């Protein structure tokens, strides 16, 4: 059984490398099998189709982001600093993993078919929500409910990642200092 899990993980790892090198569109079950010296049919033993494979990889990506964010929660007690660190971590992850973020935040995954992926994505939202809820209870946020603040924060940071991914870092637009923009945004929601 361990060998089967190792092969499955190796397929995910090789897919990650393919995406990092040539983009999401470069992934094919045939090329993946070739890369791993497996028949194309053998790849289907582990993943029923390309979406199934990409969903497993995307779930891993959410787990990685969530792990980084949870680590920050353990290390940081000041709400302003924590929200900044969470947002910057999210931004940094997005900028360094642009193709993966497209799978994480732009592709609409079927919640029923990819339940683990859905749970991992909801966990990202829940982590941010939990921090904003605590800040709200401490009367440290603007007078918006934590759920609405979480939606605002998520939209802001996803938009900032998208702008960066599209190459919009022009100083004349004020987009050349993402860390400063994140600080300014935190100043708008944390009092």
Identify the CA nearest to 142 among candidates 155, 156, 153.
153
Reading the block at residue 184, the tokens are 């300014």
Identify the CA nearest to 154 among candidates 190, 126, 174.
126
User: Domains in the chain, ordered, with CATH?
Assistant: 1-47 (1.10.10.60), 50-189 (1.10.357.10)
**Could you read off the pLDDT of 76-125 as tens digits, one per residue?**
999 999 999 999 999 999 999 999 999 999 999 999 999 999 999 999 99
DSSP assignment of 147-187, as one string? HHHHHHHHHHHHHHHHHHHTT---GGGT-S-HHHHHHHHHH
Global pTM value: 0.93
**Could you read off the pLDDT of 31-53 as tens digits, one per residue?**
999 999 998 789 999 999 999 99
Ramachandran area for residue 190 (φ above 0: left; ψ -120 to 50: alpha; else beta): beta
- 3-class secondary structure, 111: coil
Confidence of residue 3 (pLDDT cuts 50, 70, 90): confident
């Amino acid at each position: 059984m361990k060998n089967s899990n190792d092969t499955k993980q190796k397929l995910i790892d090789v897919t990650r490398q393919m995406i990092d090198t040539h983009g999401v569109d470069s992934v094919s079950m045939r090329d993946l099998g070739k890369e791993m010296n497996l028949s194309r049919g053998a790849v289907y033993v582990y993943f029923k189709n390309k979406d199934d494979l990409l969903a497993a990889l995307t779930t891993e990506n959410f787990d990685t982001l969530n792990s980084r964010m949870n680590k920050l929660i353990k290390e940081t007690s000041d709400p302003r600093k924590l929200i900044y660190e969470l947002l910057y971590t999210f931004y940094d992850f997005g900028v360094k993993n642009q193709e993966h973020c497209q799978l994480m935040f732009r592709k609409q995954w079927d919640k029923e078919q990819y339940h683990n992926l859905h749970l991992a994505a909801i966990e990202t939202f829940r982590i941010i929500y939990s921090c904003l809820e605590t800040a709200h209870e401490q009367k440290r946020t603007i007078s918006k409910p934590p759920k609405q603040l979480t939606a605002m924060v998520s939209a802001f940071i996803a938009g900032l990642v998208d702008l960066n991914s599209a190459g919009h870092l022009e100083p004349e637009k004020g987009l050349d200092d993402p860390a400063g923009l994140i600080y300014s945004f935190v100043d708008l929601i944390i009092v």
